[in-house]
Structure 1
């Protein structure tokens, strides 16, 4: 049975021991029948919640037993994930050795995931002691191989303690207020309380946030468990990227630095898209002979629109403006900053109390934040001015067209474009008509992938440059700020509207 859900928008630590210490004489006994490889009553036990300390010796009904050295069948050892030792047990002369631990998941492989390594020592009397550590995730537990049972129980020279591992499966579930402990397919976990408001079951209550090529995704643990998928069987496209449980939700995270987790970057005409998926398989065991594995594939995307439009009102109060844009998929955001400066070194911003004078040099910086600058640059496609706070005004003057200075305005200089996520240009201030008038500046830009594109515009006069982006205006918006005069103090005014086709320049 396959459950498919579509798109939803080693290093070894040195062994330090005190002089004269011998773990063969100082250990704790683990004599729990459910650890045996022939135990199949339930799968609820978990060793990640045990406070492991010191060394342990495995017994089975008082008889010496050791860990398995080969893959363990599913539904054994009283757990959903059987831990076995990947390597041979040491000899007496070997002393303390380190061995890898594998997690057996029958539907993937015998060593599907690796747990932290443990230390092992052979002791006189043909038994072994293990320095166990908490495995990564639940439900996983250390197994005892019934094929190695020996009646030789050697006496020890020091008192021996017996482990007190909790066998109540609900103690290990750690359910929150909206959950209740229960059993699904022979495994104990947290079910959703029907008296509480449930998140969207069709998407397992998915909540995702994307910013700067990073994404945080969380799902409802109880909805997943009710569908037969415990949190410990889930991972991103990269099987090593597993989730963590926080406040009843299973959380995943990937980024573009050290935790890519199988994320794929794609592009269409309007968006750059980061794709990944939450995957997992669970086995509904119904005995020793048959099982019915189920598969989950929850695919999601983080979309960043290629093209954006921004406007800033430049009159008596010229302020740095920040545009916050919500993206359509996975709540991703990036910001566009438009800042006017007085100098070409871009060190002196307008204070907000000054009025631009005719023929005064105006230097504009348009900065994009919230996307990975190693993958993208921003390209100014066009910038224009209007005498009113309306980017579609029929009275307008082009400053940048087709990513290059308007040849009709000899004062415009494009200082940086397509190089990074910061674009810069300058022009000399003017008025519409002979009397002083406010001037409003509007810019349209798009993101360009650096890996396979030449993002720097060619503004050579010999070559008539044409914009080379295939992105249209389907997803663009105009974001306006101001006006900030007439004695009204306004920090920010957002006007979001589809951008119609702009009229040709006309004075």
Structure 2
């Protein structure tokens, strides 16, 4: 019989009875011990009639029970062991051994099912969401829940799954972990767009029934979670050292995604010879610029270059500027600009011929504004018609960012 607090609704009753005192030793003989019943969050809410206990050789005890003081209580026993007879040996099976409850949990029974309960001395954070923790990266997501909070709510780990019933959770250090990715483990994940974000959504779900026979006490759990890509951000390089490759890293709050935007200048259209370090470029020499987005699902997301422009100083808002791409299309005032790829994949590509700003400026800094677009019905690709008039921008814009690179040092 347990000699420490047993929570209510355990041991197959409303108010479980436990021994309020230590067990005797062999030399103590027969002793009298108080009995407490747990209820309403109080370990000793009910004080039942005392009982007698005796320790016996062989490491077991004998109890003289009396009828409980209230009808909705019953005596508790330690976690039982089942003996399975197999000739010529006998094996003992511990019903809690395979649960591997952590130091913050304890094994017990509720409604005939054994599971891990949360320790009374440990806090229960975010009980309304079972202490949910979410992590998003690229086109994948991971959600974990507190196993003991789930069990106390009546949901064991083996009844829960994602939208795809085949995607069940795994137990890791007392937490039930669910994972999906949009490559080979989709698990019923849905990708939607609302004009300003693209959102991966899924649901942790499952049902439980604590009754049997002609009645039921079914309850169902649905926990919706999502990975959202959003937030506008403008970044410009603040140094002139090794400036020819620039990376924008976008770190978003918990539950939101992360991706990178990179812009690299090249000497050739095959993007095999990037410019490295400080270089001098002859005026009228053609430059190829690649804009790459990494960390998103390339099968469903495209990169769209909205605009690109150059400034004589490292400030994308500088008053002196020269436009290269305007509204996804080449600037009609610069016949050297060619948009080679835009809105078809996660890579954008354009080229132009090197120029110099009038005055005493010796450098050229390049800036681009891009956004992500959800590929559907081929509505992401730029369409530049005669006169460089572009069709209306698609509503499937999900994220915008600006990126800068330079300086380019021109020579005559």
The TM-score with structure 2 as length reference comes to: 0.70
Query: 1:364 — aligned with what?
Result: 289
Query: 2:109 — aligned with what?
Result: 183
1:269 to 191, 195, 201: 195
Cα distance in 2 for partners of 1:325, 1:364 equals 21
Cα distance in 2 for partners of 1:396, 1:376 equals 30
Structure having the higher Rg: 2
- Gapped regions of structure 1 (runs ≥ 5): 1-40, 43-158, 486-507
> Greater share of strand residues, 1 or 2?
2
Query: 2:274 — aligned with what?
Result: 349
The 3 A distance-change label for structure 1 pair 220 and 414 is same
1:120-269 alignment, distance < 5 Å: 160=87, 164=91, 166=93, 168-196=94-122, 198-269=124-195
Corresponding position: 1:428 with 2:353:
yes
- Give the conservation status (yes or no) of the 8 Å contact 1:212–1:371: yes
Corresponding position: 1:280 with 2:206:
yes
Cα distance in 2 for partners of 1:385, 1:163 equals 83
Larger deviation: 444-453 or 260-269? 444-453
- Give the conservation status (yes or no) of the 8 Å contact 1:361–1:427: yes
1:397 to 317, 322, 326: 322
Q: Deviations over 1:356-395 (max 9, x none)?
A: 4543432211111111212222111111122333323332
- Give the conservation status (yes or no) of the 8 Å contact 1:234–1:278: yes
Cα distance in 2 for partners of 1:210, 1:270 equals 18
The 3 A distance-change label for structure 1 pair 472 and 272 is closer
1:332 to 248, 257, 263: 257
- Give the conservation status (yes or no) of the 8 Å contact 1:340–1:362: yes
Cα distance in 1 for partners of 2:359, 2:88 equals 97
Query: 1:32 — aligned with what?
Result: none
Cα distance in 2 for partners of 1:310, 1:165 equals 65
| Aligned-pair CA distance for 1:355 | 4.1
Query: 2:313 — aligned with what?
Result: 388
| Aligned-pair CA distance for 1:316 | 5.7
Q: Deviations over 1:430-472 (max 9, x none)?
A: 3333213433222122222333233221113156213522267
Query: 2:46 — aligned with what?
Result: none
Query: 2:227 — aligned with what?
Result: 302
- Give the conservation status (yes or no) of the 8 Å contact 2:369–2:403: no
Considering only aligned residues, what root-mean-square deviation do their CA atoms show, in Å?
3.1
The 3 A distance-change label for structure 1 pair 351 and 288 is same
- Gapped regions of structure 2 (runs ≥ 5): 1-10, 13-85
Which secondary structure state, in structure 2, belongs to the residue aligned with residue 426 of structure 1? strand
How many residue pairs were aligned? 326
